[in-house]
Amino acid sequence: KAGVTQTPRYLIKTRGQQVTLSCSPISGHRSVSWYQQTPGQGLQFLFEYFSETQRNKGNFPGRFSGRQFSNSRSEMNVSTLELGDSALYLCASSKTGTDYEQYFGPGTRLTVT
């Protein structure tokens, strides 16, 4: 059974640009969550989607947005990139959306210059 996949794995962008990251959950999983990991702030929750609906959102500015498609794949978008957006972006999936166990992907390392 394939795990959670994220593309691209590495990305370099310039301040002011926008970026789209993709996450494919484990087959059959309907919930996808996104997290940002930085050395200073640690792991922080961005948002969660279940059956194409955003059910939960963390404390991030509106520049961070996401969506989920009917096949449960999810994308997150960051507009007007800032240097502080440099981070590892992780997505995690779970089957029913109420499971306590989440399966994380390898992440996308975003560097903003």
Partner 1 sequence: GQSLEQPSEVTAVEGAIVQINCTYQTSGFYGLSWYQQHDGGAPTFLSYNGLDGLEETGRFSSFLSRSDSYGYLLLQELQMKDSASYFCALNTGFQKLVFGTGTRLLVSP
Does residue number 60 form part of the binding site for partner 1 (CB under 8 A)?
no
Beta strand 103-104 with 108-112 is: unpaired
Q: How far is the CB of 69 from partner 1 (least distance, A)?
A: 18
92 binds partner 1 (CB under 8 A): yes
**What DSSP letter does each residue of 59-106 carry, written as one string?**
S--TTEEEEE-TTS-EEEEE-S--GGG-EEEEEEEESSS--S--EE--
Q: Which residue in 48, 64, 68, 74 binds partner 1 (CB under 8 A)?
A: 48
Q: Which residues bind partner 1 (CB under 8 A)?
A: 4, 31, 33, 35, 42-45, 48, 50, 55-56, 58, 90, 92, 94, 97-107
